[in-house]
Chain A
């Protein structure tokens, strides 16, 4: 068999060479590894003075909860935040990448970032990967043109809305929004409706749970309210401690003679 095309060096991005092999293996009964998804409830709402974003805090790997208190509201710019649902790695990386691009853009233009800029960067990235980057986002922020709220879908389409929900709990949350949303609510009213919507997802959707995170963005600034509500404390704890393995013997060696401690700066933690 002669090769008609010259082997070009890979240009980056995804290589789809193994897709046929994967499809064949799957038809033969092999199980594909599970991704860590955030099976989530995320919402956004426009109120009188700005935008409120809300999210639950449960991350699942199939049927098991792998993180009971993860952060789903990601920073994009000082005035723009983004909630992410779908594959956790995808939402993390796409929001980090657009956040970096926005910062460079701010230096280049000497202006505050606009929400539509973030929107265009996200949608062109997601469309370029044809839905393989499984990130469903609720993007919200306030810029010189006013408050904006958008829903971004994994294939790259977007909606501009006064209220939006995404994730496996989106139906439960949307039911609350459709029932209680009004134009021009105050901050307190908006927070109450967003909390009710997230709680509807937390209690009625098995993919969402634990606590409610909020982010309120106005012209003056932003309030990141981590764990604003914690409606799920642990129901029961064993009255006495547990006894595990009996210690048969212990030996303690001091390392002071072998290790020389030198002063230095503490490592920066992310």
Chain B
């Protein structure tokens, strides 16, 4: 007669359940980030809306942070944690410059970011990062991260609330080689800089249609051999 797999529904037999926590140290301020690496350029873009719950905090907030002359970090998630992370990286970069008399390369910054995130493995930065820039050879590079520092170099990436809307379009249009195919190809897209910026604008316009947290404006940063350029485009404000 024993029913071995019946769930125990009585209070006495059930393990003590905690009441749902009312306070959380985290909040999600929403937003989407995208980066695309080209042969000799890198495009990094993020929307400018900062929200909480169903309200908008500001329509004009920059999620993009330039760390070195050749590395640009775009992050979505909890902006307070992201601010702290940016300051941390800036301080570490300053120390590096004092010790080595030169700036960090983008791949070096990528590893530093990964280590910084994993350092807080048990109370993570609620930050979904995309690092973009030029490597030492002048080729575009994009690194994607999860919240605790797992990272990978790829040809393009998106993170944030609109990531699931944008990523399939980028996969389709940029046709990245699978990372499982050997020899490993650090692929960059064959698109020109102008075409890549056009694609980024269109994907953000589409994401703003369907994701409630993406909108207001998109800030686009283009890193190439001539330096760093900024563009701003309006998005739907509803």
Contact = CB atoms under 8 A, between A and B. Distances in A.
Interface of A: 20-21, 24, 27, 39, 58, 60, 63-65, 68, 168, 202-210, 231-232, 234-239, 242, 244
B22 interface: no
A175 to B, nearest CB: 13
A65 B55 contact: no
B235 A206 contact: no
A64 B51 CA distance: 15
A63 B238 contact: no
Question: Of B202, B213, B234, B235, which is in contact with the most chain A CB atoms at under 10 Å from its CB?
Answer: B202
B198 A209 contact: no
Nearest to B8: A24
Interface stretch (B89-97, B128-136, B203-211): B203-211
A68 to B, nearest CB: 7
Nearest to A244: B172
B233 A236 contact: yes
Interface residues of B, number: 29
A252 B201 CA distance: 38
B205 to A, nearest CB: 4
B212 interface: yes
Contact of B209 (A21, A39, A68, A208): A68
Contact of B210 (A65, A168, A203): A65
Describe B's contact surface by its main secondary structure: mixed
Interface of B: 7, 9, 17, 51, 54-56, 161, 165, 172-173, 198-199, 201-202, 204-205, 208-213, 233-238
A206 B54 contact: yes
B236 A202 contact: no
B211 A235 contact: no
B122 to A, nearest CB: 20
Given A204-B56, A206-B54, A207-B54, A235 B212 contact: no
Nearest to A56: B238
Contacts of B199: 238
| Top 3 A-B pairs, shortest CB-CB distance | A209-B238, A236-B205, A238-B202
Given A64-B210, A65-B211, A209-B212, A232 B238 contact: yes
Contact of B161 (A63, A209, A234, A237): A63
Given A24-B9, A232-B236, A235-B235, 18 more contacts: A21-B7, A27-B17, A39-B54, A63-B213, A168-B54, A203-B238, A204-B55, A204-B56, A206-B56, A209-B212, A209-B238, A232-B237, A234-B209, A235-B233, A236-B205, A236-B233, A238-B201, A239-B198
